[in-house]
Homo-oligomer: A and B are copies of this chain.
Amino acid sequence: MEDKLTQAVEDYLKAIYELSQTEGRASTSKLAEYLEVTPASVTGMIKKLASANPPLVDYQKHRGVVLTEAGMNEALETLRHHRLLELFLHDILGYPWDEVHEEAERLEHVISEKFEERIAAVLGNPKHDPHGDPIPRLDLSMPASAETRLSDLGKGDSGTIKRVRDTDADLLRHLSDLGVTPETQVKVVDYSDYDKNTHLKIKNQDEVVVLGQNITEQIYVEA
């Protein structure tokens, strides 16, 4: 009942956590798509999670799952590993920010609590990963994270980039080329209602950058 969780279980719990951020319960098909497995495989795994001791998810046939308290803690533990690793790979080993995710995805399941503790110490108990996502604290509580999208700013508004959706490596490369990275100060010098383009002045840069809505929706700022 209290064996170490497998890699697959940890990835399912993390996926359920991520999907629950948007929708309420995580459905079989959404999970299947997210994890790139068949819906049948998801059903099988979900049953195991639900009948674990203690149960890791609350499962209702045909209407998906939510994490239990125990499941949530395991998900956050793995997420803490993941995000600490991403920052470690970036800051200490010099990985570009579009390459950290893949490596962290494997390492998160394998490092010990000691490794977690050591990299947290070396990094100075950081609050955010290289994409600005909050790192769960040691007690698994979550630091606040910016929720205002750049697409919601209007002409004349200014703020600091705080977070960028980390799912698309191409986008991440593109943004670091442009200089749009967390903690960068920016000002909206123009916004067009026709094409939804945001014209952005970036601190210490001359050229004004123009970003489409599909991009500005993935960037979060703080006034």
A residues sitting closer than 8 Å to B (CB atoms) are 89, 92-95, 99, 103, 106-107, 110-112, 114-115, 118-119, 122
Contacts and interface: CB of A to CB of B under 8 A. Distances in A.
B94 A114 contact: no
Contacts of A89: 115
A93 B107 contact: no
Contact of A103 (B92, B95, B114): B114
B111 A94 contact: no
Nearest to A107: B110
8 shortest interchain CB distances as A-B pairs: A93-B118, A106-B110, A110-B110, A103-B112, A107-B110, A103-B115, A94-B118, A93-B122
A92 B93 CA distance: 11
Nearest to A112: B103
